[in-house]
Amino acid sequence: MAGNITYTMLKPDAVSANHTGAIIKMIEEAGFRIVAMKMTKMSAETAGKFYEVHKERPFYKDLCAYMSSGHIVPMILEKANAVEDFRTLIGATNPANAAEGTIRKIFAKSIEANAIHGSDSDENALIEGNFFFASVDKF
């Protein structure tokens, strides 16, 4: 059965453009409850650990530099069928392919600076949530 937790973070392009409030409003209006949240920054080394699964991809180094270039807003969100419903809300990785009305369609600047992260599985939601917040299962 699908879990009820997902992990997200607003990326540096969205935070620096002052879209934090507008994006959080869309998340809440879509029925997600924020159960953990902070404003923080990653070092390139920390970003490298977070995106370790992509370390063989050609964009990995640029991605780590970009993700450590400014503030991010990590959050844990609760909703039935959270992972899948949140991926639908944010839209495709490349904003050029994202559906109308999705967060990436509205706010992303490029395939790299695409405004927001969303976990791709229940397992990764827990791993990623625990990366930024201690003991996700207490939520």
| Contact criterion met (CB below 8 Å) for 83 and 122 | yes
Q: Of 2-10, 14-22, 78-86, 113-121, which segment contacts ligand ADP by CB under 6 A?
A: 113-121
Counted residue by residue, the chain has a size of 139
User: Is 71 a residue of the active site?
Assistant: no
Among residues 36, 42, 63, 98, the one that binds ligand ADP under rule CB under 6 A: 63
Q: Of 1-9, 12-20, 21-29, 106-114, which segment contacts ligand ADP by CB under 6 A?
A: 106-114
Asked if residue 111 binds ligand ADP (CB under 6 A), the reply is yes
Question: Catalytic residue numbers?
Answer: 117
- Interacting residues with ligand ADP (CB under 6 A): 54, 59, 63, 93, 111-112, 114, 117, 120
